[in-house]
Structure 1
Amino acid sequence: MSSPAEAILLRLKTHGPATHAELAAHLGVSRQAVRLQTERLAARGLVATGTVRSGVGRPGARWSLTAEGHAQFPDTHAQLTVELIEAVREEFGVPGLERLIQRREAATAAAYGDALANAEGLEARLERLAEIRTREGYMARWDATGDGAFVLSENHCPICAAAAACQGFCRAELQLFQTLLAPARVERIDHVLQGARRCAYLVTPP
């Protein structure tokens, strides 16, 4: 994305709600310029504002993406994928669909395992994993929590429709990360399908 409006959408997608001041600092432009863009985006139904109180004084406005705003970041081949899932479920039953998911999980684990093979240490493995997932469209990043743990975030789900149709994909993703990052403990703390803006995993070293 290159235009100011697109840059705002991307920032809200990858970092969550933000004020005009925060967006202006990130983009290196004036608050007035940001205000103009958010008003235009709001008129298109792509962003909305809420208020949050921080200290004394008037509450500040924080902008976030609406459902239409999130839809600007596509769900890869959503309709076709859902149709295929339903076809497999009808043709082979739930056990057949589970075998398909397990086969995909095994192939992904093998490919990711090879990619992480020479990454030494948990931080290096997180960095490599985030790079792989970003290339696949997940807008992934990792951050230290400050208490020795880490958070792996996926700010976009390119298979969201498939995951909604068959949550075995989400279960397989969690199991994959647990395998790749062992012996660290991995637990999901945010889930798009439960209304969060992203999927996120808390990674705690042993």
Structure 2
Amino acid sequence: MKNNFPENEKAVWILKTKGPQPLIAVAEELNITVEGARFQLLKLASEGIVEAVTVSKGRGRPQQIWSLTALGNQRFPDTHADLTVRLINSMRDTLGEEALQTVIDATQKANITRYTQAVAQAGNLEEKINCLAQARDAEGYMASYEKEGDGFLLIENHCPICAAATACLGFCKSELETFKKVIGREAKVKRVNHIMEGARRCAYSIIPDKADKK
């Protein structure tokens, strides 16, 4: 998912991908002066897109931490949210949970096939994770990965199906199982951050399975 925000709204993208940030960090990311960053943030705050809280740390000067509001998060699409929720609820009410689970299972199977194809040319685990992150990013998940200790962290800063996942947590369970299938036995996959549980992002720890290498 590309950053298509105008120059005077780049801070929105930063706060979405980096989480709550102090003013100086936003200025550094924007590569502008602190005053310039403050002007941009105050303008966005006047529109209800960002907000700041004052945090005191020790004896130092209190610091303002900026974050997105609910309105700011709406700048990032939740694909066909209302229609999706209505369809899920209608299916549950008329056909039952079993029929809904059948749809989730079919979606999972299709995703496994698509992502397996996306990582097919990967030469090692890191390349596989990179390919998976690129595929998810193209679908609007604002996905990336980074090294973490002996393993990796697959990060998704946005959930374009959040409304559907809220209406039916089976979609979230399905995504975790999909990643496990695509990564395969060479690594263990565990969800460590979950938007549905109040985190600002979803993140998955991917640790190489040393036992599998023996």
Task: Report what 1:46 is aligned to.
Answer: 49
Task: Report what 1:155 is aligned to.
Answer: 157
CA contact (8 A) 2:48 2:72 kept: yes
Task: Report what 1:57 is aligned to.
Answer: 60
SS at match of 2:21: coil
What is the CA–CA distance in structure 2 between the aligned matches of 1:59 and 1:7, rounded to whole Å? 25
What is the CA–CA distance in structure 1 between the aligned matches of 2:163 and 2:120, rounded to whole Å? 31
What is the CA–CA distance in structure 1 between the aligned matches of 2:123 and 2:59, rounded to whole Å? 47
Task: Report what 2:183 is aligned to.
Answer: 181
How much has 1:59 moved relative to structure 2?
2.8
- Structure 2: 5+ residue stretches without partners: 210-214
How much has 1:87 moved relative to structure 2?
1.5
The letter of the residue matching 2:202 is C
What is the CA–CA distance in structure 1 between the aligned matches of 2:96 and 2:116, rounded to whole Å? 30
How much has 1:52 moved relative to structure 2?
4.1
Which of 167, 175, 199 is equivalent to 1:165?
167
How much has 1:53 moved relative to structure 2?
4.9
**TM-score normalised by the chain length of structure 1:** 0.95
What is the CA–CA distance in structure 2 between the aligned matches of 1:2 and 1:77, rounded to whole Å? 21
What is the CA–CA distance in structure 1 between the aligned matches of 2:102 and 2:9, rounded to whole Å? 40
Q: 1:150 to 1:53 in 2, by over 3 A?
A: farther
What is the CA–CA distance in structure 2 between the aligned matches of 1:55 and 1:4, rounded to whole Å? 35
What is the CA–CA distance in structure 1 between the aligned matches of 2:5 and 2:97, rounded to whole Å? 44
Root-mean-square deviation (CA, aligned residues, Å) is 1.4
The letter of the residue matching 1:22 is A
What is the CA–CA distance in structure 1 between the aligned matches of 2:164 and 2:5, rounded to whole Å? 29
Deviations 1:51-104 (A, max 9, x none): 445675213222111111111111110001111111211221000000110011
What is the CA–CA distance in structure 2 between the aligned matches of 1:195 and 1:110, rounded to whole Å? 30
What is the CA–CA distance in structure 1 between the aligned matches of 2:11 and 2:198, rounded to whole Å? 22
- Structure 1: 5+ residue stretches without partners: none
Moved more, 47-56 or 57-66: 47-56
Deviations 1:76-135 (A, max 9, x none): 100011111112112210000001100110011011111111112111011101100010
How much has 1:144 moved relative to structure 2?
0.9
Tell me if 1:127 matches 2:109: no
Q: 1:201 to 1:51 in 2, by over 3 A?
A: farther
How much has 1:24 moved relative to structure 2?
1.2
CA contact (8 A) 1:13 1:65 kept: yes
Moved more, 62-71 or 157-166: 62-71
What is the CA–CA distance in structure 2 between the aligned matches of 1:15 and 1:150, rounded to whole Å? 17
What is the CA–CA distance in structure 2 between the aligned matches of 1:188 and 1:52, rounded to whole Å? 29
**TM-score normalised by the chain length of structure 2:** 0.91
Task: Report what 1:76 is aligned to.
Answer: 79
Moved more, 119-128 or 3-12: 3-12
How much has 1:28 moved relative to structure 2?
1.3
Tell me if 1:117 matches 2:116: no
Task: Report what 1:190 is aligned to.
Answer: 193
What is the CA–CA distance in structure 2 between the aligned matches of 1:198 and 1:90, rounded to whole Å? 31
How much has 1:13 moved relative to structure 2?
0.5
